[in-house]
């Protein structure tokens, strides 16, 4: 089973459940699908063997970016990607990396900004009542907590204590 069909099947299941669960989970899953599309696009830029049609097949058919999948599949560099995402302020801002903070050159990585946005969505999910999305969000935040602990442990083992504070803040 491909990642693409997993996203879509889970999304459809949440929509079928309806109510608050659909409201909360469709927003979270749409964001994660869009994040996946941007990540695939960035990671496959410059690969001549991967044609536009093949790249597009990797994209989930949910999320805000569905209407520009053809354009994103045709992107060959970061500038083209930024240009295509200008109409989506949230993603354009993440790509610009205007925030200062972590990383070797003082800027947060795109992956860090994606993760911080996901944390916001999951925390908002936990604040709402009477839906099943709370279990998904709890699991995802617990997963991030474990990743943070692994980051801290790796920093200690590798004598990089000055980078310990670069974990993703949950609360």
What DSSP letter does each residue of 4-29 carry, written as one string?
Answer: HHHHHHHHHHHHHH-HHHHHHHHHHH
What are 161's two structure tokens? 């204590």
Find, among 136, 130, 132, the residue nearest to 29 by Cα. 136
Give the confidence band of 25 by pLDDT, cuts at 50, 70, 90. very high
pLDDT (mean) for 7-20:
93
**Nearest CA-CA partner of 71 in 39, 26, 47, 41:** 41
Round the CA-based radius of gyration of the chain to a whole number and report it. Answer: 17
Predicted pLDDT at 154: 97
Confidence category of residue 72, pLDDT binned at 50, 70, 90: very high
Query: Looking at residue 49, what is its pLDDT?
Result: 84
**Is the per-residue pLDDT at 98 higher than 80?**
no
Percent of all residues in the chain with a pLDDT value above 90, rounded to a whole number: 73
- CA–CA separation, 28 vs 31, rounded Å? 5
Averaged pLDDT of the chain: 89
pLDDT at 106: 58
Residues 115-155 pLDDT 10s: 999 999 999 999 998 999 999 999 999 999 999 999 999 99
pTM: 0.87
Mean pLDDT for 152-169 is: 94
What is the per-residue pLDDT for 48? 80
């Amino acid at each position: 089973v491909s990642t693409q069909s997993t996203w879509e099947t889970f999304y459809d299941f949440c929509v079928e459940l309806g109510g608050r669960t659909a409201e909360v989970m469709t927003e979270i899953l749409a964001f994660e699908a869009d994040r996946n599309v941007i990540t695939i696009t960035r990671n496959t830029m410059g690969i001549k063997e991967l044609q536009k049609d093949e790249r597009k097949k990797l994209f989930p058919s949910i999320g805000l970016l569905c209407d520009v999948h053809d354009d994103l599949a045709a992107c060959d560099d970061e500038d083209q990607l930024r240009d295509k995402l200008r109409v989506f302020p949230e993603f354009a801002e993440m790509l610009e990396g205007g925030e200062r903070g972590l990383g070797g050159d003082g800027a947060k990585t795109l992956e860090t900004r994606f993760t911080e946005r996901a944390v916001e969505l999951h925390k908002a999910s936990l604040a709402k009542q009477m839906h099943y999305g709370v279990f998904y969000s709890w699991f995802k935040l617990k997963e991030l907590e474990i990743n943070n602990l692994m980051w801290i442990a790796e920093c200690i083992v590798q004598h990089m204590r000055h980078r310990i504070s670069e974990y993703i803040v949950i609360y």
